[in-house]
Structure 1
Amino acid sequence: MTQSPESQSLDEPRVQPEKEPLPRDIKVMLAAAFLIALGFGLVAPVLPQFATTFDVGATAAAVIVSIFAFMRLVFAPAGGSLIGRFGEPNVYVTGLLIVAVSTAACAFAQDYWQLLIFRGLGGAGSVMFTVAAMGLLIRLAPPERRGRVSGAYASAFLIGSVLGPVVGGLLAGFGLRVPFLAYAAALLIAATVVRTMLSGSGTARQDDAPTAPMALKEAIADSAYRAAVLSSFGNGWVTFGVRMATIPLFAVAVLQSQPETAAWALAVFAVGNAVALTFSGRLADAWGRKPLLIPGLVITGVATGVIGLTADLPWFFAASAVAGFGSGLLGPAQQAAVADVIGRGRSGGKVLAVFQMAADTGAIIGPVVAGLIADRFGYGPAFAVTGGVLLLTAVGWLLAREPLKRQN
């Protein structure tokens, strides 16, 4: 049977995923991901509270949180260009160092505006190492194990992000500035680990023929990439935006529960996510990306919509856990799909930057739209629209090609 240009591959035939241990360089990246997530979790619970020590209100404190995401979005195109010029490892380590220095500076901020500037600079460094990390994983991961590697990377981040707030809460007892210094130290350790232990053997092509970076126009011509950008936007809207900003408000306003209920909802989401991550990456390598992506988007979308209909805590927690499970299904497959589009041994800084920008844009827009709908029509319609966004992205994947190559 004749295949379309989108589904053909000369150098990456589909093979069954191997059960061999992950390459050493991948393990280095996993260790760095854990340290980064652990450190971020240290400051996340105390950042708004620290901002209010400068005699500002809740809105100004929220701006300190959102400036990080805003700067990630604004600086993403420049980060992609830097990768094309200096390479993923250099941009990755530089981004870590920028966030480390800016975070340490936050600990010594003397007023609100200094804190705002330092936190914004951290957002610029954050998108640098985030996009560079994706590029490194594409180069380092064997094509037949991309799903497994993406799942392992997500798991390392999940474990670090769960442990981080616990450790951060303990450190806050020594003062609100201490978690920032601990985060900076974790980033310095991560940068040192990557710079000294990453062999670099997997970051170069196996032959001597030079390969030009993938142009954004070339990626956009691929239906799989267009679907991945769309689902990245939806996932950012729901998982990184509404889940963090709107669900806590719903728990207090509608369920009339204590503020810590929102923390439990985030915890059960993480549990559902962790359960799916134990197998979703391997299945994405064995079955293909779409068989995991489409159910993951549908499950997360429906469960998110159901949250707005819950009237008691057990159902609220159950819906949160199911949403986390769906997110764990789609995450590794989505990242592996982008890696399939770019291909191994090829730089795709701008392509990855746009993919990341889509998620950051969704995370910024989602809570605003959900909040406006909740204020006017109630939380039920707000969560229904939120879940509907993910269902629409699932339709996008139904119409896209399967990015995992078939055996010849």
Structure 2
Amino acid sequence: MNKKRNTPLIFLMVNMFIAMLGFGLIIPILPDFLKEFGAGGGVAGYLVAAFGLSQFVFSPIAGDWSDKYGRKKMIVGGLLLFSLGNLIFALAETIPMLYVARLVGGIGAAAMIPSMMAYVADITTQEDRGKGMGMLGAAMSFGFVVGPGLGGILAEFGLRMPFYISGAVGALAMLGSLVILPESRSQEDQRASRESKVKKENILKQFAQSFKAPYFLLLFLIFSLTFGLANFEAIFPLFVNEMYGFNTREISILITVGAVIGTVVQGVFIGKLITAFGEKRLINITFLLSAAALILMLLSGNFWYILILVSLFFSFTSVMRPAINTLLSKMAGNEQGFVAGMNNAYMSIGNIFGPAMAGLLFDVNVTFPNILGAIVLMLSLFLSMANGAKLKALKPETSI
């Protein structure tokens, strides 16, 4: 990529980093923050689910507007809503205001993230597109990795401080993008999209179409993986605080170290692991080990023991997702665009129902969310093994 294209890409990476940073900040401080409102696991789960719900509902709309009115407008608007959501969260005195903040943040993410991805596609060639998307993905992962640790540090100055800082940084990114980021989509292309008479299928019809596809099982595995991961991330801080007495600093260390290790494992070893085991076998192995890690967390509150298990869980799920995506891409044939959209849709549903169910069960018994997550992952393993013959990769593989 040349220098002219590198400057916008760097801005996009900074913006993506900020968005995921804001998402991760909330994790370690959630237990103490919710105590101010007398709220428990149910509220925690619904807050995470509210973000996923508004992101799911508005992503198709935002994507369409991005084509019609330009990427830059949606990115700037998304950053504005992101900052506003953080400010509302910081100032909130009632639980409904917390929900409003998360819904606003989810709309901001829906406006921003697809538009950034489309922007990368606009400014890169076919040969460079993978590199550009990879750099954007790295910024996303790095933001989530740094978020919990920074949230724990900023919480030393007050539980609401992380949200003020995140909102302020988001506002600066918005102003920088407004002034410096050029529009990547030409006026002619925007006008053509606005005047297009092609009617797009609604999401329900797309789901119905995906049920009949030979790769439906893989889409379901994307849902179950996301369900288990979102289930874990939404309630884990409350779980270790309630059951083992971990404080904000300890929770931020657990999440940050675990996420860093998972990111490194994904970046360094995923290619070698797929080569060694094949996608189908690797998917089955990681489903089994992820479920085991969730159950083993219930057995001891030793900090180092939990740190090892959290790191293993993040590593297993970090390997599982690209293994599923690789096999899904192989089976998609000439339906790559449709499959990519459905991949995001099934992931969004997991992000909605995983936290919501975890929150409800946590208020019944603090161990139930981990047990539910393990059950969902094991059921997915059994489905994968029972239907393994239908997953036709490029070369024959065996399942465990």
**Common fold, TM-score beyond 0.5?**
yes
Corresponding residue for 1:277? 266
- Does the Cα contact within 8 Å between 1:37 and 1:160 map onto a contact in 2? yes
SS in 2 for 1:308: helix
Q: How does 1:174-253 map to 2 (within 5 A)?
A: 174-194=157-177, 196-197=180-181, 200=184, 215=201, 217=205, 220=210, 222-224=213-215, 226-246=216-236, 249=239, 253=243
C-alpha distance in structure 2 between counterparts of 1:133 and 1:99, whole Å: 14
TM-score (norm 2): 0.70
Cα distance, 1:265 vs structure 2 = 3.9
Corresponding residue for 1:81? 61
Q: How does 1:73-222 map to 2 (within 5 A)?
A: 73-74=53-54, 76-87=56-67, 89=71, 90-136=73-119, 151-194=134-177, 196-197=180-181, 200=184, 215=201, 217=205, 220=210, 222=213
SS in 2 for 1:80: helix
Q: Does 1:359 align with 2:350?
A: yes
Instruction: Classify 1:365/1:170 alpha carbon distance in 2 versus 1 (closer, same or farther; 3 Å).
Output: closer
- Count of aligned pairs: 373
C-alpha distance in structure 2 between counterparts of 1:237 and 1:32, whole Å: 26
Which runs of 5 or more structure 2 residues have no equivalent in the other structure? 395-400
Cα distance, 1:36 vs structure 2 = 1.6
Which runs of 5 or more structure 1 residues have no equivalent in the other structure? 1-18, 404-408
The root-mean-square deviation of aligned C-alpha atoms, in Å, is 4.9
Query: Residues 348-391 of structure 1, C-alpha deviation per residue, up to 9 Å, x if partnerless?
Result: 9964662342232342355258659967x978854641431442
Instruction: Classify 1:334/1:96 alpha carbon distance in 2 versus 1 (closer, same or farther; 3 Å).
Output: farther
C-alpha distance in structure 2 between counterparts of 1:109 and 1:274, whole Å: 33
Residue type of the alignment partner of 1:168 = G
Instruction: Classify 1:199/1:123 alpha carbon distance in 2 versus 1 (closer, same or farther; 3 Å).
Output: closer
- Does the Cα contact within 8 Å between 1:276 and 1:329 map onto a contact in 2? yes
Percent of aligned pairs with the same residue? 16
- Does the Cα contact within 8 Å between 1:292 and 1:329 map onto a contact in 2? no
Corresponding residue for 1:32? 15
Aligned counterpart for 2:320 among listed residues 330, 352, 369: 330
Higher helix share: 2
Residue type of the alignment partner of 1:241 = N
Residue type of the alignment partner of 1:271 = V
Corresponding residue for 1:308? 295
